[in-house]
Amino acid sequence: MDDVDREELASFLRRRRSRLTPADVGLPPGVRRRTPGLRRDEVASLAGMSTDYYTRLEQSRGPHPSTQLLASLARALRLTDDERDYLFRLAGHSAPVRHGTDPHVSPGLLYLLTRLDDVVAFVVSDIGDVLVQNRMSVALTGDRASLTGPARNFAWMWFTDLSVRAPYPTEDWDRHSRTHVSDLRATAARRHGDADVTSLVERLLAASPEFAALWAEHEVAVRRADRKRIVHPEIGVFDLLCESLVSGVGEQILVVLYPRPGTDAREKLELLRVIGTQNLSSIS
């Protein structure tokens, strides 16, 4: 049974698209626009879907959208939690549960992220799921926010896939491992009995002897500030400071990596900002 309210869904999407400007979502203004708001192709690109699919939704003739697609649309249109819930109900789905690890990033955090264009910045959940990254973050460490399932959880990948550690000097690995474990221990205590946290810890204990050994040490420390050295294959080592800004919405954290004073990180970040994800080996 198709319980999508197509007319209301189409109207809601059109209205929310019309109220946004390119600056609201970190896009350049581009050429003169005939109508206010974002274009359909811009919303589709931000949500990771085809323009044709999005157009059909706005024309009341689209298919039954999935919850994953709706979550992407909610983020692209900078919807509040209440607006996101309304979108889900119009599309015939129950509103997502707000407690625990909610992947919906608030418009406020997204707004800040679009303004941070000269530093590395991303939003993670309190158990390490990468929710959204700015262009600098993708250029330096790769696109993790577009992944699904365990692959987007940095703690899981750190202990189960050694390729994730490649951008970090080997002498820093033990410190990063301990930081991941002690921060997750603090989260597990704060969200005692929560299924998301319990499941992640149990899977890590079964999959990684390194994690199990560190977990047994009972070190507890909330990650607030840190120093990170990250190796880019073409530009070299970035010596960065890390600041974690905790949001009260869904226990989400805006992480900002900025130049460590007295290093060449500022110049390297400027180069990274200019070239983005281009293949530097092809640049003479």
- Structural domains present in the chain: 6-90 (1.10.260.40), 107-277 (3.30.450.180)
Q: Count CA within 13 A, CB hemisphere, residue 137.
A: 22
Over range 182-207, report the average pLDDT.
Answer: 90
The average pLDDT across 37-66 equals 90
DSSP 106: P
Sequence-ordered list of residues with C-beta below 8 angstroms from that of 171, at least 6 positions apart, any chain: none
Higher-pLDDT residue of 20 and 224 is: 20
Task: Look at the block and give the residue holding tokens 């600056």.
Answer: 23
DSSP 120-173: EEEEEETT-BEEEE-HHHHHHH---TT--GGGGBHHHHHHH-GGGGTTS-GGGH
Percent of the chain with pLDDT over 90: 50
**pLDDT of 85 over the 60 cut:** yes
pLDDT at 284 over 60: no
pLDDT category at 27 given cuts 50, 70, 90 is confident
Q: Which of 79-83, 155-159, 273-277 has the lowest mean pLDDT?
A: 273-277
Q: How confident is the model at residue 277 (pLDDT cuts 50, 70, 90)?
A: low
Helix/strand/coil for 228: strand
**What pLDDT does residue 107 have?**
84
**Mean residue pLDDT across the chain:** 87
Which pLDDT belongs to residue 24? 85
Residue 114: exposure state from Cβ atoms within 10 A (0-12, 13-18, ≥19): middle
Q: Which of 7-11, 12-16, 114-118, 278-282 has the lowest mean pLDDT?
A: 278-282
Look at 161 and 277; give whichever has higher pLDDT: 161
- Distance (Å, rounded) from C-alpha 167 to C-alpha 139? 12
- What mean pLDDT is predicted for residues 216-231? 87
What are the φ/ψ torsions at residue 190 (nearest 5 degrees)?
-70, -35
Whether 122 and 166 have beta carbons less than 8 Å apart is answered as no
**Signed CA dihedral, 248, 249, 251, 252: sign only:** negative
Say if residue 279's pLDDT is above 60: no
